[in-house]
Amino acid sequence: MDERDVYRAKEAMQSAMKKGPMRLAVIIGAILVGFLFFHPWVQVGAGERGVVLNFGAVQDKVLDEGLHFRVPVMQTVAIMDVKVQKAVTDAVSGSADLQDVTSSVALNYHVIPDKANVVYQTLGVEFKERIIDPAIQEVMKAVSARYSAEELITKRAAVSEAMRANLAERLLAYNIAVDAFSIVSFSFSKVFAEAIEAKQTAEQLALKAKRDLDRIKIEAEQKITAARAEAESLRLQRANISPDLIELRKIEANLRAIDKWNGILPQVTGGGAVPFIGIGEIQKR
């Protein structure tokens, strides 16, 4: 091998060394571009579940919260919200006594996390309008028909519990769990509302009259008891009175009069006599 061959080999080696890093950078760049383009990962947020689809077919596996990898092109992941949702619905129904009842209720519910793929497959994402609202309407009408209009007010807790239990049973069939149910308001026709108000007013007045009557009876009984006690006291006093006791009381009265006397005799009176209470009696003693 002559010097020219050695020189050519050296140049070829240097050229290969210069092209190698560039080719490697190009390859790495292509891989990164392909990685970003095909997006082979998916992030499932808090309170969500990922439904895996293989070419659009729902799979049994449900992805939990966090970062997951998928097969590009073949797999896609649909995100389902499994947090507690709120639905407020108004409905017009009839009571057992044929009164029109307008109700407003609030329902808290959530998709059962492990069944998110079934819900997505059978109901889709927008299921509130198709499932939740109609179920609330039907349950409110069914339960309201069992109670009179007055009972809907007086037995509100029982009515609310009946609606909640009925809704929980209905929605569980769709893999939706009921968390809470509450009746926001009941409203009736103006005529019925006025009748209820008049009845309540009459009941309050009757209750007040009964309380007043009870109070009067108690006060009368107290007076009778006091009078009996006073009469008994007088009877005992009369039983204990004797001539000696009467004489003692007279002496006590005279002594009190003497204690109050200032020592000055009164002027001559019309009769000419000078009164001096009890002195004779005291002297006799």
Model confidence pLDDT, tens digit, residues 27-42: 666 665 655 555 678 8
- Whether 119 and 165 map to the same domain: the answer is yes
Q: Which two tokens stand for residue 253?
A: 């009265």
Alpha-carbon distances of 12 from 15, 21, 168, rounded to whole Å = 5, 15, 79
The CA-CA-CA angle for residues 82, 85, 90, to 5°, reads 145
Considering 129, 155, 188, which residue would you say is the last residue of a domain? 188
- Whether 179 and 229 map to the same domain: the answer is no
Residues present in the chain in total: 285
For the cut 50, the answer to whether the pLDDT of residue 69 exceeds it is: yes
Residue 279 lies in a domain: no
- Whether 120 and 175 map to the same domain: the answer is yes
Buried b (16+ CB within 10 A) or exposed e, 261-278: eeeeeeeeeeeeeeeeee
Residue 198 lies in a domain: no
Q: What is the pTM of this model?
A: 0.56
Query: Residue 115 gets which letter from DSSP?
Result: G
Average pLDDT over all residues of the chain:
78
- Whether 20 and 67 map to the same domain: the answer is no
For the cut 70, the answer to whether the pLDDT of residue 224 exceeds it is: yes
Contact 53, 21 (CB under 8 A): no
Residue 208 lies in a domain: yes
Give residue for tokens 């009736």: 188
pLDDT tens for each residue of 88-116: 888 888 888 878 888 889 999 999 999 99
For the cut 70, the answer to whether the pLDDT of residue 244 exceeds it is: no
Q: What is the mean pLDDT of residues 138-153?
A: 88
- Whether 113 and 29 map to the same domain: the answer is no
Residue 265 lies in a domain: no
- Whether 160 and 234 map to the same domain: the answer is no
Give the total number of structural domains in the chain.
4
- Whether 151 and 238 map to the same domain: the answer is no
pLDDT tens for each residue of 117-134: 999 999 988 888 889 999
Residue 194 lies in a domain: no
Q: Residue 87, class by beta-carbon neighbours within 10 Å (0-12 exposed, 13-18 middle, 19+ buried)? A: middle
Residue 274 lies in a domain: no
Cα gap 275→261, rounded to integer Å: 13
- Whether 125 and 174 map to the same domain: the answer is yes
Residue 285 lies in a domain: no
Residue range of the domain that includes 247 = 204-258
Contact 78, 126 (CB under 8 A): no
